[in-house]
Each structure stands twice: as C-alpha cells, then as structure tokens.
Amino acid sequence: MVARAGPAAGRSTRVVLFTGKGGVGKTTVAAATAIRSATGSSTANPRRTLVVSTDPAHSLADSFGIPLGSGATEIHSGLFAQQVDAQDRMEEAWGDIQRWLVEVFDWAGVEGVEAEELSLLPGLEELFALVDIATHARSGEWDALIVDCAPTAETIRLLSLPDVLSWYMDRLFPVTRRVNRLIGPMLSRMSQLPVADDAVFSATKRLYAQLDGVKDLLADRTRSSVRLVVNPERMVVAEARRTYTYLSLFGYRVDAVVANRLLPDEIADPWFDRWRAVHAEQLASIEEGFAPLPILRSFLADSEVVGVDRLSTLGAALYGDTDPLAMLHDGEPMGIERQPSGRRVLRIDLPFVGSDELEVSRVNDDLHIRVGPYRRAILLPDSLRHRHVEDASLRDGALRVTFSDGGGLRTGRASSEARGDHT
C-alpha cells in the first residue's frame, strides 16, 4: 500500500546513508537498520522510517521479499520503502534539456533511438536520487531516512554532484547564458545548429533549484552521516579506506563501520580455520585503521537474510541496546582553528592519504584539493579569503592549510601548490 502520511510540523529527519563495495551486504544492513529504527529498542522509541534505494540495480525489494515501486510502500508498522526510478522524474526535470540535446544529435547525424539514448547523460539516476532524498528530508513526514546507496564509486559520484553543480552554477552558468544570448542568434543565421534557448537554461536552473540545500542537508553533522559496510577481506577493506578518504574530502561525516559476515564462533569445522585467521587479521586491520570510528559487527547467517523477521533479528544483533539512529561518532571532517599568533589553520581530515596522492592549490577565492581521481573546489570563507596561504602540510591523516595573520590583503591571482608533506 502506498503511504499517504501528512507532514509533521517541526519534525527533523535523521539521515543515514549506507555504502560499500558491491556484494558486501549493504542493502541487507540498510534494511535491517530501517526495521530497527521503525520497531524501536530498549533505548529508543519506534520512529516513522523510510528506507530508499538509490542503486540503479535495486535489490531492496529482494531483501524485504516484496515488490516495491517508485512511491513509498508500507512494509511494516511505521516502516516504508522506496526504489527511486529516474524515469519517473525524467520528463519533469529533464524534458526541455533532453529535447534540445536530441535536436543537436539529430543535426550531427545521430537519429532516432541513438539520439534519445545519448541525451540521457551519465549520472542522471544519481541526480534524481539526490532530489528525492532532499524532498523526503524536507517533507516533515519522516523521523528517519535510511538510504541504500549504490556501490562506492557511484556513491562518491552521487555525493560529489552538489559541489560540482554548485561550482558550475555560481561561476559558469551566468556567463554561459549571457554568451548564448549574444552569439546564439548569429549561430542560428550562420548554421542550422540548434542553439539552447531560455527554456533550456530555465530547465537547468530549475533542476539546480531542486538540489538546493542537498549538500547542506547531507553535510549537516547533526542530522546526516554515512556508514561503511565491509567484509573482512583485504580488497574490500582497501576500497572502504579510499571511500572514507573521499567522503571526508567532500565534508561528509562517517559515523561507523559495519563489519559484515564475520564467521561466528559456532563454526568449528577445521576447514574454516584459515578463513577464521584471515577474518581475525582483517578485523584487527579495520579496528586499527578506522579508529576512533565504532565498528559494528554482524555475523554470517545460516541462511539468506530475507524478509522482515530475518532482517529484524539482524538489526537487533547488530545494534543491541544502541539506538540505530544515534550519531555514533562526532568527529568533524573539516574545521578552522585559530592559533595564538593570529594565523588561521584550515583542517580537512583525509585519512589514509599518502603524500604522493595529494595536490593542493589556491586560485583566487577557491582552494582546490585533489586526492586520486577526485577534486574539490572549496570556496574560502570571509575569515580566510583575504589571507595569504603560508603553508600546507599533511600530518596524522589531516591536511592543514595555514593562512597568514591578516597583515596584508591578497591582491590579484595568488596560488600555492602542495605536494608531499610540506610546501
């Protein structure tokens, strides 16, 4: 049945996102967390909960063992589930842009189905998933929003979209629109190339408006956090470490790691002795490497964890007396520290980063940070904007960029690049 809940005034939605390498069991853990949230525990009352899948390869319905659609479907008392379908949002948010792209591809000699397919740009599913998450969180209908994200690479792309779009909309979009108004009529007279009109730019602006506040919501460390799901395997743990780094780069709080499918003590067959040793080694690596994050443990079940009853058992074992919606770690991925000398230090947590993976540069009012394949442009606050960069160093899993004490205003284009432990 489809939920028709009315809004609850003043309700602040707690948002918990789950991600991990494909196949580690993140959907199962997300579903179990949602049930634990909706049914309550000895330390927490039941909360009205929605669990949403943003993974294009949905498996949330399989986990619950019932069909799910693009609307919120009631699973259990106080628990609802949804699988985001990008096609349902396509015409409303992307129609004008898509029609223009199809015309451009047609002009270039690409026709029919091929033009339609090419007009659906990579990442659209993630874009509409963000819109849905923000809409649900603002609606006032839910106490908790549990998000079953796509595997880690897609999750990073999803969570970096607000930064990328914000940079484009603030800096390039107004210029692009003005240039188009100036040269568009000339291009139309000189060629048959379809030129984007105001409808296309308005559609782009509307789409961005729908995303307005998404970054603020997901980076709000009083409301939102990410939990990494891992198996005690070397490759899985290595990917989780990289994910933790990239999430910190974009300012998202990770408040726990779920070590899933550990071998239980009940398995005494000697054949599993080697696996038990590997699990113990990797679990020690997880606890040491991700400290001080709490490590939640979930053991390998004796059969598939499908359906409300099995998921409820898993949720109870995973959280025990802990409130599943509690903020399990209160670390801040980014902050500004003031030194006695008057200097300011911008600290950005970048766990597991090697000096050869990091690049830092300042261009005017932006600080550009690249870690591996990901780049973030941080618009400096007023307290730092008119100060010179004196130093950038990577120590103890954190990038520290030191700004001058304000003795002189920065003029023109200033830049500083850091590679290694010190500039």
Distance CA 40, CA 35 (A): 8
Q: Answer yes or no: do 165 and 271 share one domain.
A: yes
Angle, alpha carbons 310-316-321 (nearest 5°): 175
Residue 189 lies in a domain: yes
Entry pTM: 0.76
Predicted confidence at residue 103, as pLDDT, reads 56
Kindly report, residue by residue over 376-409, the tens digit of the pLDDT. 888 788 788 888 899 899 988 899 999 988 654 3
Q: Is 139 exposed, middle or buried (0-12, 13-18, 19+ CB in 10 A)?
A: middle
Distance CA 208, CA 200 (A): 13
H helix and E strand count, the chain: 13, 16
Confidence band of 309 (pLDDT split at 50, 70, 90): very high
Predicted confidence at residue 377, as pLDDT, reads 82
End-to-end CA distance of the chain: 60
SS3 call for 78: coil
Q: How far is CA 312 from CA 78, 109, 396, in A?
A: 14, 55, 39
Residue 226 lies in a domain: yes
What is the amino acid identity at position 282?
Q
Confidence band of 420 (pLDDT split at 50, 70, 90): very low
SS3 call for 17: strand
Confidence band of 176 (pLDDT split at 50, 70, 90): very low
**61 touches 83 (CB < 8 A):** yes
Longest dimension (CA), the chain: 80
Q: What CATH number is associated with residue 404?
A: 2.60.40.790
Angle, alpha carbons 67-71-73 (nearest 5°): 50
Residue 423 lies in a domain: no
Residue 123 lies in a domain: yes
Confidence band of 374 (pLDDT split at 50, 70, 90): confident
Distance CA 144, CA 359 (A): 37
In terms of residues, how long is the chain?
Answer: 423
Distance CA 61, CA 82 (A): 9
**367 touches 423 (CB < 8 A):** no
Q: Answer yes or no: do 290 and 383 share one domain.
A: no
Distance CA 162, CA 250 (A): 10
Kindly report, residue by residue over 38-64, the tens digit of the pLDDT. 998 877 899 999 999 887 777 899 999
* Averaged pLDDT for residues 274-293: 91
Predicted confidence at residue 145, as pLDDT, reads 96
Kindly report, residue by residue over 141-161, the tens digit of the pLDDT. 999 999 998 786 666 666 676
Comparing 90 with 3, the larger pLDDT belongs to: 90
Q: How many domains does the chain have?
A: 2
Kindly report, residue by residue over 76-130, the tens digit of the pLDDT. 999 999 987 666 665 555 555 556 555 545 545 555 545 454 444 555 666 677 7
367 membership: H or E segment, kind and range: strand 366-371
Q: Answer yes or no: do 292 and 197 share one domain.
A: yes
Q: What CATH number is associated with residue 318?
A: 3.40.50.300
Residue 146's domain comprises 1-331
